[in-house]
Amino acid sequence: MMRLLFLLLFSTALLFGEDLAADFFNQGNRFYEKGRYDSALVCYDKVLSLGRHDSRVYYNKGNAHFRKKELGLAILNYEIARKLNPSDPDILDNLRFSYAARKDKIIPVRPVFVYRVVLFLHDFVSLRAQETFFLSLLFLTCGLFILFLFARPERRSRSLFFAVLFSGLLALCAVSLFVKIQRDRHEKRAVLLSPRADVRNEPDGGQILFSVHEGAVFKVERRIGTWVLGSLENGLSGWVPEDKLGMIEISE
């Protein structure tokens, strides 16, 4: 059974420590617990305005928007939270719950099994965590090569074996990191925030191809003026007014 996690709020102590951002975050949690969701959102936005872009702030914002029955904004904030912390189970559970609440049941095009496994492993860790792992692996590999150079002759073969092995892992990690950085920089996604939108075959009054409802997630292909060419997970695509969308990105 899917767990209902919308009353769960992350604690201040785990997040910031004692500072102004912590005060706003704690105050937002108190407002949330009293059902004053608009006031809670104001406090969470103040935390973000101080540059504290933490997944737990966006998670709590998503909870508040969901309570206000603003499904599009809830999904938008959960998606940003997942971007910052892709393996957090609470974020993933609430995101799945919100997706299930959408009016449109969009069935994604499923790639082949091997590609799905690779994609899952690639997306399971955040960009920051993968960068840290890459640097650690780099230092370890360099250390193994240094060990090989100064090792006794009878131990050189073993040192070389591990140095080559970790070099291969380092190369795979470098490729994965490069792909993640490029995708994070160039691949844009957006959530439909309005109750309904008509998707057209061309911008500025083209023919209506189909309609979607709040919470639909588009992959942004390109922009022309105030229109966005986006594609859904099921492969359908078309033009949507940009002002109906919320970009899944961290606004500095």
For 15-66, the pLDDT digits (tens) are 555 588 889 999 999 999 999 999 999 999 999 999 889 999 999 999 999 9
CA angle 61, 62, 68 (to 5 degrees): 95
Gap between the Cα atoms of 189 and 212, Å rounded: 16
Residue 243 in any domain: the answer is yes
What's the length of the chain? 252
> Do 68 and 90 have their domain in common?
yes
Give the range of the structural domain holding residue 197, as residue numbers without chain letter: 188-247
> Do 136 and 156 have their domain in common?
yes
| pLDDT score at 124 | 66
DSSP symbol at 244: G
Alpha-carbon distance values, 225 to 81, 189, 222, 242, 243 (Å): 29, 17, 10, 9, 11
- Give Cα 245 to chain centroid, integer Å: 17
Pairing mode, strands 196-200 and 245-247: unpaired
Query: Average pLDDT of the chain?
Result: 84
> Do 30 and 67 have their domain in common?
yes
Residue 195 in any domain: the answer is yes
> Do 141 and 172 have their domain in common?
yes
> Do 95 and 129 have their domain in common?
no
CA dihedral 53, 98, 237, 177 (to 10 degrees): 40
**Tens of pLDDT, residues 142-152:** 887 887 777 77
pTM for the predicted model, two decimal places: 0.74
Copy the structure tokens of residue 8: 């769960």
